[in-house]
């Protein structure tokens, strides 16, 4: 999705073009590169021996390298909000990736301030977490975030390859290079965020896939720098490279991030290449922080730095300066786990982590933070605890500011017990590290499609930890995969109660209600998420309307999704489904062609999108163009071998064409291609029964029961009279 604000551009065009920048020169172009989840100590320029990052090494040689830079949050959205506003999370109010929105009218962003001074502003991002609906796009005249959120509730997982993001950024860069105005370009890469799945040759080159993804990000940085040089923009530009937070990598028992505030999670790389290579190759030992980003960019542009900003320009830092107190927080344990939130303060060389069981570390003597010295350093411990106390800001409920949503939550019984408003007597996250490992094991079982085992493990976890939100959401997802809708609904409702109405949990719950046929509840829960995630909510509401047989309403919701400013391809596919439900085949084909054109614009190649060829096949197969329909189904299968719908429809069309043997072979191919997915066997049995091949259906049902003896949705296949629910209902 590209947002082009003509009004903003017009206002910028009236601004003066000659601006004072560094050392009185004309305002320099500004480039900010954010590499998500990149630990500083996994870069060779910070001393890492196993990595290989030639592009970042070369940029560092032209830059000031800040040896001790820290993030204020260990989640993507609140961390970027701090970068852009120069404020701490407790000040700008964005405390989590979901359910919070940046109020840029109250807290102006650096993009807004630069745009007001005549800068052309643009951003290209790689994660749905940074979608425009969060308010993080404020001030950017062009904001590219062409991401599909899906409707499962797993919104934080929606991402796209950095190469696609970079292609858009370079396209914009080529255009703005022809203008005389200075520009501010923000580029966000999601590598090396989990899951760590580096492309070749990096997957084979590195033993640790995290290092492989770091190498992918490095290649992208190299391509960006190369284009800046080709356009003659590099030397005169200021280029800042950083990360929003680090990654646990099991140093303290956390594989990813969000729970803890140890050094590996909050210390980030920070490079600043100044125009003309000023101060190139220097290293700065004075502590830096991400709220320094906004004042630095403003000073480089010659703009006045607002007094309200908590940070300071990096240009003013000196290693001999007074020690700085740097604050970081995480409320993720409280919102998602039912554990205590944490807050920390770094005052070199000490690092206080304040929680139910506080910790104090000496970062020089013990950079791995293995020895808690709070008993030995009592004066430091006491002073830092007093200093950090004022930074504990009351946590608002996610999405709780909207009165209409609050009323809906209350009517559904979800208000009053929200995690954010609980008392302070919550367990310390490190005391629950064993539970975190169990959740990780359950996730691995889900990845292996061993849903029954995952559910059993999660049932044990929730029994021992009934306040653990994440366990309930994972349990709901596991039961959803097994088509145990009653159990899935119960688990998700418990998560809703514990969170006071989490928008992403509401979406997941709505999708289960939809499949279970409870359309009223599906609609009510999808509407709960509308303020926080309008695109995903309208897509789901369109799907609910289709399931109800209300194609006209489905079409209105699809168009609302398109109007929400979200991913056009997802909205167009929803629109095409609604059109097909009204038997407007020609319009469906035209809408699908439009979706493919939009997809080509986003990806820049011949990539397809789940469901496009499938729906085209449905339209063609329903007319006298069945043979063309089979080719569309084959294309869907080729692109998405896990698409059970495509196999099933292709098999049925073959039967309709009198080619039963080929239809049977398609069903067998589906099973052979996806032998470990229970959903495949359910679809196979359903398809074979529709083909009236009951002996083969019974044989596959027995095969599935032997393979998945603990999965109730599989053992029930022996009952011929019991309907098999569609995994993802389509018209």
Tens of pLDDT along 499-509?
888 888 999 99
The answer to whether the CB of 351 falls within 8 A of the CB of 344 is yes
Task: Please report the pLDDT score of residue 664 as a whole number.
Answer: 94
d(CA 184, CA 21): 13
Domain count, the chain: 3
Q: Answer yes or no: do 36 and 90 share one domain.
A: yes
Residue 67 lies in a domain: yes
* 209 and 357 housed in the same domain: no
Residue 448 lies in a domain: no
Question: Between 698 and 413, whose confidence is greater?
Answer: 698
pLDDT of 396: 81
**326 phi and psi, to 5 degrees?**
-115, 125
Q: What is the pLDDT of residue 21?
A: 44
Q: Is 274 a residue whose pLDDT tops 80?
A: yes
241 and 354 inside one domain: no
Last residue of a domain, one of 331, 358, 391: 391
Alpha helices in 604-658 (DSSP H): 612-621, 626-639, 644-656
Q: Kindly state whether residues 182 and 282 are assigned to the same domain.
A: yes
How far, in Å, are 269, 287, 317, 318 from residue 284 at the CA level? 12, 8, 8, 7
- Find the radius of gyration of the CA atoms of the chain: 27
Residues 70, 167 within the same domain: yes
Q: Which residues contact 675 (CB under 8 A, 6 or more apart)?
A: none
Judged against a pLDDT cut of 70, whether residue 31 lies above it is answered with yes
Q: What local confidence, expressed as pLDDT, does residue 711 receive?
A: 83
Q: pLDDT, tens digit, for every residue of 637-668?
A: 999 998 899 999 999 999 989 999 999 999 99
Contact by Cβ (8 Å): 286, 318: yes
Do the strands 30-35 and 183-189 form a parallel or antiparallel pair, or are they unpaired?
A: parallel
Contacts with 248 (C-beta within 8 Å, 6 or more apart), sequence order: 254, 255, 256, 257, 259, 260, 262, 264, 265
Q: Which CATH number goes with the domain that contains 236?
A: 3.40.720.10
What is the reported pLDDT for 730?
Answer: 39
Global pTM?
0.81
Residues in the chain: 731
Q: What is the pLDDT of residue 605?
A: 61
Read off the pLDDT of residues 423-479 as tens digits, 9 standing for 90 and up.
Answer: 558 899 999 888 988 988 998 898 888 999 999 999 999 999 998 888 999 999 999
The pLDDT score that the predictor gives to residue 713 is: 79
Query: 652 in a domain, yes or no?
Result: yes
Q: Quote the crossing angle between the two packed helices 660-673 and 644-656, to the nearest 10°.
A: 170
pLDDT digits (tens, 9 = 90+) for 530-579: 887 888 899 999 999 999 999 999 999 999 999 987 668 889 999 999 99
Q: Cα(622)–Cα(619) distance, rounded to whole angstroms? A: 5
User: Phi and psi for 187 in degrees, rounded to 5?
Assistant: -125, 130
How wide is the angle at C-alpha 694 spanned by C-alphas 692 and 698, nearest 5°?
Answer: 150
**Residue 649's domain is classified under what CATH number?**
1.25.40
Please tell me the distance from the alpha carbon of residue 586 to that of residue 617, in angstroms, as a whole number: 13
Q: Are 84 and 111 spatial neighbours (Cβ–Cβ below 8 Å)?
A: yes
Choose the final residue of a domain: 370, 391, 412: 391
pLDDT digits (tens, 9 = 90+) for 581-622: 999 999 999 999 999 888 877 666 656 788 999 999 999 999
Residue 330 domain-assigned (yes or no): no
Token pair belonging to 106: 């109250």
One domain, residues 387 and 256: no
Range of the domain at 363: 342-391
Considering the domain architecture, whether residues 294 and 372 belong to the same structural domain is answered as no
**Is 527 part of a structural domain of the chain?**
no
């Amino acid at each position: 999705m590209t947002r082009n604000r003509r009004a903003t551009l017009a206002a910028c065009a009236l601004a003066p073009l000659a601006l004072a920048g560094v050392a009185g020169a004309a305002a320099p172009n500004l480039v900010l590169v954010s590499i998500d989840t990149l630990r500083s100590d996994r870069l060779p320029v910070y001393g890492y021996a196993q990595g290989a990052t030639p592009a970042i090494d070369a940029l560092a040689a032209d830059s000031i390298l800040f040896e001790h830079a820290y993030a204020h949050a260990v989640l993507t959205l609140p961390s970027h909000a701090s970068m852009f506003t120069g404020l701490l999370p407790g000040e700008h109010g964005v405390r989590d990736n979901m359910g919070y929105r940046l109020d840029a009218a109250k807290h102006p962003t650096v993009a807004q301030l630069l745009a007001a001074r005549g800068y052309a502003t643009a951003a290209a991002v790689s994660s749905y977490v940074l979608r425009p609906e969060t308010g993080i796009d404020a001030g950017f005249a062009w904001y590219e975030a062409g991401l599909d959120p899906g409707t499962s509730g797993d919104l934080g997982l929606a991402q796209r390859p950095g190469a696609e993001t970079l292609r858009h950024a370079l396209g914009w860069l080529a255009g703005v290079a022809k203008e005389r105005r200075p520009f501010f370009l923000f580029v966000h890469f999601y590598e090396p965020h989990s899951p760590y799945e580096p492309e070749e040759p990096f997957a084979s080159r590195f033993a640790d896939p995290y290092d492989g993804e770091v190498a992918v990000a490095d290649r992208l940085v190299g391509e960006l720098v190369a284009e800046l040089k080709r356009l003659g923009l590099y030397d005169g530009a200021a280029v800042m490279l950083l990360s929003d937070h680090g990654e646990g990598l099991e140093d303290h028992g956390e594989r990813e991030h969000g729970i803890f505030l140890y050094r590996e999670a909050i210390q980030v790389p920070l490079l600043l290449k100044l125009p003309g290579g000023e101060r190139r190759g220097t290293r700065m030992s004075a502590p830096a922080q991400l709220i320094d980003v906004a004042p630095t960019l403003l000073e480089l542009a010659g703009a006045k730095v607002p007094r309200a900003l908590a940070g300071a320009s990096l240009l003013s830092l000196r290693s001999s300066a007074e020690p700085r107190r740097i604050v970081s927080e995480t409320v993720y344990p409280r919102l998602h786990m039912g554990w205590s939130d944490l807050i920390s303060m770094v005052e070199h060389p000490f690092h206080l982590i304040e929680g139910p069981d506080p910790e104090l570390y000496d970062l020089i003597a013990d950079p791995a933070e293995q020895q808690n010295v709070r008993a030995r350093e009592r004066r430091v411990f006491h002073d830092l605890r007093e200093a950090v106390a004022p930074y504990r800001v009351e946590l608002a409920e996610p999405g709780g500011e909207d009165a209409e949503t609050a009323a809906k939550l209350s009517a559904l019984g979800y208000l009053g017990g929200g995690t954010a408003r609980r008392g302070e007597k919550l367990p310390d996250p490190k005391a629950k590290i064993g539970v975190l490992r169990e959740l990780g094991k359950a996730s691995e079982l889900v990845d292996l499609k061993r849903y029954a085992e995952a559910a059993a493990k999660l049932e044990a976890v929730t029994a021992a930890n009934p306040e653990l939100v994440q366990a309930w959401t994972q349990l709901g997802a596991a039961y959803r995969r097994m088509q145990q809708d009653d159990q899935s609904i119960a688990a998700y409702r418990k998560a809703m109660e514990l969170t006071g109405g989490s928008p992403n949990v509401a979406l997941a719950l709505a999708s289960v209600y939809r499949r279970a046929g409870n359309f009223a509840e599906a609609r009510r829960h999808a509407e709960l998420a509308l303020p926080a995630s309008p695109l995903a909510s309208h897509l789901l509401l369109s799907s609910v309307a289709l399931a109800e047989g209300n194609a006209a309403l489905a079409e209105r919701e699809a168009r609302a999704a398109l109007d929400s400013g979200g991913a056009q391809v997802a909205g167009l596919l929803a629109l095409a489904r609604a059109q097909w439900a009204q038997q407007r085949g020609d319009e469906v084909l035209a809408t699908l062609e439009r979706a493919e054109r939009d997809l080509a614009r986003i990806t820049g190649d011949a990539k397809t999108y789940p469901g496009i060829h499938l729906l085209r096949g449905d339209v063609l197969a329903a007319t006298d163009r069945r043979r063309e329909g089979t080719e569309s189904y084959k294309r869907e299968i080729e692109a998405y071998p896990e698409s059970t719908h495509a196999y099933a429809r292709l098999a049925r069309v073959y039967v309709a064409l009198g080619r039963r043997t080929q239809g049977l072979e398609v069903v067998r191919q589906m099973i052979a291609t996806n032998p470990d997915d229970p959903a495949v066997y359910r679809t196979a049995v359903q398809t074979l029964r529709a083909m009236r091949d009951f002996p083969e259906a019974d044989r596959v049902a027995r095969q599935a029961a032997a393979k998945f003896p603990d999965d109730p949705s599989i053992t029930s296949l022996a009952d011929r009279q019991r309907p098999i629910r569609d995994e993802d209902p389509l018209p």
